[in-house]
Structure 1
Amino acid sequence: MMTTKKTVLITGANQGLGFETAKQLAELGYYVYMGSRDRSKGIAAQKKLNESGLSDVEFIEIDVTDINSIKSAKQELAAKTQQLDVLINNAGISGGSPQNMSTYEMENLRKVFETNFFGAVQTTQQFIDLLKESAAPRIVNVSSGLGSLQFSNSHDFAFYAYGCSKTALNAFTVSLAKEFRNTNFKINSVEPGYTATNLNQYQGTQTVEEAVGIIVKSATLGHDAPTGKFFWKEGEFAW
């Protein structure tokens, strides 16, 4: 059934930041498509939100590392809605630890980039036509402070390979924003902060409820808002 509400697709929405973002945007009146590569987990996530009183949420199977899965998800979404108003590229993996670049296995590095960078790029490419049908399209790339060259250079962290993938994602944000700078698109990267999620074995210092504020804010930007920027809860973040 076609919906008249603003629509949003969130990858990796079956848990963590993605799930909480789905919850908060649904509460704001968006129709939310909860992307998950695992069908059973995606259905369970949708059911959990349905049971909390949120009916305008729907699971959609999508593996961002599989182009055929992305194309299938795009076809499914196109049959349900004439446009996509918001795409949130949230799906990501940590790549394990330690990640010293002098010894990190190339196979693992490729896996990290396949999800965190190439996955976001090819998902965006497949859904861009539906986004163009929106009067106010928004793309939010969920990045990390570890993807900031300035920030990482002044701190000692272990997730170097992960950070490299997020640096690449930030570069994609800048490039895409420039490509669509004379349109109504708003395309930004966000740093949710060190959050307790499955990605870091729940070692983060803030809750998902606290962290997703910047994601939701970037997904709901107004016409005069900036594009091609990197934001966190305190404002603009250094590239």
Structure 2
Amino acid sequence: MTPSSALITGANKGIGLAIARQLGKNGLVVWLGCRKLALGEAAARQLQDEGIKAQAVQLDVTDPASVSSAVATLEQANGSLDILVNNAGLMYGPPPSLAEESIDEMRQMFETNVFGALRVTQAFLPLLRKSEAARIVMMSSGLSSLNDALDMRSETWGVGFAGYCASKTALNMLTVKLAKELARDGIKVNAVDPGLTSTDMTGNGAGHSPEMGARPAVALALAHAFGPTAGFYSCSAQGELVLNNW
């Protein structure tokens, strides 16, 4: 079955908007889940001007009432959902050390990056189960890998951001657990590493474009029936999926 609808959280800019654009160019109706509806509507109009079927829906992943309202909106409009991309994320600036990192900031990152992603997934599962080929993609990070964090040869060896890294590692475990549980429903669940991407979250500094960062999420969202599940993937420079170390 060819998927027809997708919801991307945190989709009014950056990687989320790039994912929406690429899925839209593949013929899907894309829903841009955004905390601020006005920003989402502006992004949706931008995609509509490009010939993409796009709609905005107010969705704050940390607010259960907002998530429930978004479910009701999509259920009324679509009746089902084929693709869910949990892209919304939060990262604070680099703390001086883990010994001094703010517990409050860590808690907020976990609330968005971990509990928010699970909250949205749980809420939309009834609609995803109505699809014949549902896909769930979790936006993780190369900084989540325990193997790389312990490898002195890895480019992430000296990276701090302990709270953010820990939140993405936790998200990886939820990805595996969900993939195992939802396999009986034919729902594939994977995590992706977009690579170092120049966005507002990274201070628009070094890194590749959001369009490049969106590629692994789009590839897994559109994976065929024999595609992977319970994996952690990035994209090579040639655009091919690469299996990462958890």
Report deviation, 1:53: 2.5
Matches within 5 A, 1:187-202: 187-202=189-204
Confirm whether residue 238 of structure 1 aligns to residue 240 of structure 2: no
Which consecutive residues of structure 1, in runs of 5 or more, have no partner in the other structure? none
Q: Which amino acid aligns with 2:18?
A: E
Report deviation, 1:152: 2.1
Confirm whether residue 129 of structure 1 aligns to residue 126 of structure 2: yes
Matches within 5 A, 1:56-135: 56-98=53-95, 100-135=97-132
Structure 2 residue corresponding to 1:141, chosen from 138, 141, 144: 138
Instruction: State the alpha-carbon separation in 1 of the partners of residues 196 and 35 from structure 2.
Output: 24
Q: Which amino acid aligns with 2:37?
A: R
Aligned residue pairs total: 235
Residues 1:47 and 1:99: Cα distance change in structure 2 (over 3 Å) = farther
Aligned to 2:7: 9
Report deviation, 1:67: 0.6
TM-score (norm 1): 0.95
Instruction: State the alpha-carbon separation in 2 of the partners of residues 204 and 116 from structure 1.
Output: 22
Structure 1 residue corresponding to 2:26, chosen from 15, 25, 28: 28
Q: Which amino acid aligns with 1:156?
A: G
Structure 2 residue corresponding to 1:204, chosen from 206, 211, 214: 206
Aligned to 2:227: 225
**SS class of match (2:91):** coil
Report deviation, 1:99: 6.0
Instruction: State the alpha-carbon separation in 2 of the partners of residues 128 and 77 from structure 1.
Output: 12
Q: What do the CA deviations read for 1:204-238 (whole angstroms, capped 9, x no partner)?
A: 32111112111100100000111101001141000
Instruction: State the alpha-carbon separation in 1 of the partners of residues 35 and 148 from structure 2.
Output: 32
Structure 2 residue corresponding to 1:175, chosen from 160, 174, 177: 177
| Percent identical residues | 38
Report deviation, 1:181: 2.2
Aligned to 2:44: 46
Q: What do the CA deviations read for 1:87-141 (whole angstroms, capped 9, x no partner)?
A: 0000001122226322111111110001000000000000000000000000000
Instruction: State the alpha-carbon separation in 1 of the partners of residues 140 and 173 from structure 2.
Output: 11
Q: Is the 8 A contact 1:197 1:203 kept in 2?
A: yes
Instruction: State the alpha-carbon separation in 2 of the partners of residues 212 and 99 from structure 1.
Output: 30
Report deviation, 1:5: 6.4
